[in-house]
Amino acid sequence: MSSNATASIQLTIDGTPVSVPAGTTIFDAARLNGIPIPTLCHQQNENPVGVCRVCVVDIGQRVYAASCIRQAEAGMTVKTSTEPVLAARHTLVELLMSEHPSPCARQQHSGDCELEQLAAAAGIEQSRFPQRAAPRGKDDSSAVIAVDHEACILCDRCIRGCDDIRDNWVLARRGKGYQAGISFDNNLPMGESSCVSCGECMVSCPTGALTTKRVVGTELGRGEVLDPAELLHLPIFENVSGTFLELNQKAVVKRRFRAGEVICREGEFGSTAFYILEGTAEVFLSSPIAHVKTEGSSHGFFSRLKSMLAPRDEHARSEESARPFIPIDASVDLPYDNPIAQLNPGDLFGEMTCMSYYPRSATVRAQTDCVMLEMLRNVLDILQRNKTFRAQLERNYRQRALDSHLRGVPVFATLTPDFIGHLRDRVELVRFNPGQVICRQGEVADSFYLVRIGFVKVSEERPGGDLVLAYLARGGYFGEIALLTGSPRTATCTALDHVEVVRIAGEDFRLMLDRFPEVRHSLETIAHERLDANRLRATQVQNVPIDQFLANGLMEAQSLLVLDLDRCTRCDQCVRACADAHDGVSRLVREGVRFDKYLVATSCRQCRDPLCMVGCPVGSIRRRNSLEVIIEDWCIGCGLCASNCPYGNINLHPFPVELDDPVMPGRKIASTRVKATSCDLCHDHEEPSCVYACPHDAAHRVNPPEFFAGVLKQSNPLKSNPPKR
């Protein structure tokens, strides 16, 4: 260090001689000698920017100087509290208050908004200056931090905290003049940006522009509450804001489980995730792996029909018969033939339950004595954005889950360990928030995607609205058609909730096709089926007046049960046949909307937007390439699909089963499990029972565009009242 850097200079501040090292700012010189100078944009030990100007002082020149950026000079005379200086500060604070909501969120919660404190000290109750003409609004997209642009005074402290202290480089300024403000990445909402929710911006902010969200129910009832200092010693909380942990101290607790103790059960609703610190746990499905099958007796087709559970080989469908894994809400998938796996220290489970409040996808039981962290959504969101924790999750996924994830997709079952090893360091885990578009119809394709967490909605633009082709859960994939054909994207894929996908670059996807012809053949076969079905549906829709379809609500359906009222005698044979086929529970209600002489009965419509598919924790309800909605044999009976169905056409059927006794291994105990069932077009029979039973040929299962193409042209309005019986 040079001698000039250590030399001292003498100056006078408010009549007091002081001596400070050369290079010291006036602000620091006054602070070191106990002379207070107010400021809003400057904190100790950070680079000053001089934007608020509240720290102005008189140094005997034409204009006042901002003391935080003006260096002290030998012989300088500084005045910090004369009447003219105080009047200048008063005006500056009053100008800032004219655009500041009072009281702001910080002032309401803790009473320490620095701007409002300065205003109170200056006796400013109401600003004389007009308010901003164009409000800047609020940003509520982050699960952790509330952003109120109205309360922002553009002090840049959040930007310096994000960039200089945390080295995250997310925050910056945007706009000019009265349109100026802070922005996240390329002016994205905070929740959609690369913000890791470390909380540094919130801690740095002097006003209520950035505050911790106070979420109702952020306290866990059981477990050991840890001091923030203890949490910060855990590697997963490295670089997390201590202030955030202090404010959310009871939202993460340490839990201890004895060997054999059940931690969570499949089908239960929850709001927490678990992170294993010590010990091992086993994750498994206790529900039987079986389809709901309808069988008849020799006493006549409708005299005795019963729903029963049947294994896959008695109810096989070509599309899923080769699926080797069942997707669950954990770092591993479960082998189909033996649905049980092990969770180790460093594993996280329950992400979907915690972030989106879906039912538990599996039962987790302590295999040894375990120590775990149980956390609520606000803490999990912080961790998922934390670079250290994200790196650990990616490491675990590449080492343990990538192989089973790829092999869990039947078309990729033939990939060799060498090629999966090639992909291991090249795939990328990418997160998307609810509503974010992952890829858009018409765009040029550059990637292939596997769903790791959450649900992706695949939709196609159609006249009159989008058609939902599928909801993809863990184990689903998309983006292959455009890469195979070299054409633009054929559909738009959107994150329905908190989604994480595995991105495989286009060059690696093409390399896979070149090295594994059987993979190429399988993907091309499926792609051609989908494209052919899309072209057929588009042709059908073009033949029907779209405005009438929309007005009648028929565009929501892909398959309808239609009753010809001229032929129907209201004998209810169709309803009774449906009930007989399903243990006395009818899936058909002979009510609905009417068009001309036809009644569109209430039964499974194979909807354009099948809400029943949203949120299934194990992905057991899905749409086939034919658009038929089916329920797979690994349904755990949580009932979410039944709750989501707007027509009430999914029911939970109880079945007696024998389960392993958790207390005495090897012994079986009698129990009851439920399975979700819906109208499956009586898959096991030549035609639906209701259609078969109608003695007057009044009931028909139809495709709406085909059936109503001629009828709709006559333009008779629908009536919403049900027919008289």
Better pLDDT: 554 or 84: 84
Question: Which of these, 358, 268, 269, lies nearest to 615 by C-alpha position?
Answer: 358
Give the integer Cα–Cα distance in Å for 538 and 544.
10
Better pLDDT: 4 or 344: 344
Give the integer Cα–Cα distance in Å for 161 and 41.
12
Q: Does the pLDDT of residue 84 top 90, yes or no?
A: yes
**Residue 314: its pLDDT value, please?**
59
Give the integer Cα–Cα distance in Å for 390 and 237.
11
Out of 97-101, 213-217, 300-304, which region has the weakest mean confidence (pLDDT)?
A: 300-304
Strand segments (E) across 213-339: 224-225, 252-257, 262-264, 273-278, 281-284, 291-297, 300-310, 325-326, 334-335
Instruction: Using DSSP bridges, classify how beta strands 465-472 and 589-595 pair: parallel, antiparallel or unpaired.
Output: unpaired
**Domain layout of the chain by residue ranges:** 3-121, 224-285+328-411, 416-542, 553-719
**Residue 3: its pLDDT value, please?**
45
Q: Does the pLDDT of residue 8 top 70, yes or no?
A: yes
Q: Does the pLDDT of residue 655 top 80, yes or no?
A: no
Q: Report whether 278 contacts 371 (CB < 8 A).
A: yes
Better pLDDT: 634 or 221: 634
Give the integer Cα–Cα distance in Å for 420 and 461.
35
**Residue 399: its pLDDT value, please?**
77
Average pLDDT, the chain: 79
Cα R_g (the chain), whole angstroms: 33
Most confidently modeled range among 64-78, 242-256, 476-490:
64-78
Which CA distances in Å does 202 have to 49, 210, 578?
19, 5, 60
Task: Write the class of the CATH domain 3-121.
Answer: alpha beta
Helix pair 377-385, 387-396: axis angle to 10 deg:
80
Question: Which of these, 210, 319, 237, lies nearest to 627 by C-alpha position?
Answer: 319
pLDDT tens per residue, range 127-141: 787 766 567 788 988
Average pLDDT over residues 664-678: 77
pLDDT tens per residue, range 261-319: 999 999 888 889 999 999 999 999 888 887 666 655 444 444 445 566 666 665 555 44
Q: State which CATH number among 3.90.79.10, 2.60.120.890, 3.40.50.2300, 2.60.120.10 fits the domain covering 416-542.
A: 2.60.120.10
Band of pLDDT at residue 677, cut at 50, 70 and 90: confident
Percent of the chain with pLDDT over 70: 78
561, β-bridge pairs: 701
Average pLDDT over residues 50-69: 91
Q: Does the pLDDT of residue 674 top 80, yes or no?
A: yes
Q: Does the pLDDT of residue 106 top 70, yes or no?
A: yes
Better pLDDT: 254 or 403: 254
Q: Does the pLDDT of residue 502 top 80, yes or no?
A: yes
Band of pLDDT at residue 325, cut at 50, 70 and 90: confident
pLDDT tens per residue, range 415-448: 888 888 888 888 888 888 788 899 999 999 999 9
pLDDT tens per residue, range 333-374: 888 888 899 999 988 999 888 888 888 989 999 999 999 999
Out of 86-95, 139-148, 667-676, which region has the weakest mean confidence (pLDDT)?
A: 667-676
Strand segments (E) across 444-512: 447-453, 456-462, 465-472, 477-478, 492-495, 499-505
The fold for domain 224-285+328-411 equals: Jelly Rolls (2.60.120)
Out of 176-180, 460-464, 580-584, which region has the weakest mean confidence (pLDDT)?
A: 580-584
Answer whether 0.85 is exceeded by the pTM.
Answer: no
- Mention every residue, 6+ apart, whose C-beta is less than 8 A from residue 296: 302, 304, 305, 306
Q: Does the pLDDT of residue 497 top 90, yes or no?
A: no
Q: What is the DSSP letter of 609?
A: S
Percent of the chain with pLDDT over 90: 20
Q: Does the pLDDT of residue 1 top 60, yes or no?
A: no
Coil vs helix vs strand at 659: strand
Average pLDDT over residues 246-270: 88
3-121 and 224-285+328-411: identical CATH topology: no
Coil vs helix vs strand at 401: helix
- Mention every residue, 6+ apart, whose C-beta is less than 8 A from residue 477: 409, 448, 449, 450, 451
**Residue 713: its pLDDT value, please?**
53
**Residue 246: its pLDDT value, please?**
75
**Residue 716: its pLDDT value, please?**
46
Most confidently modeled range among 152-161, 569-578, 673-682:
152-161
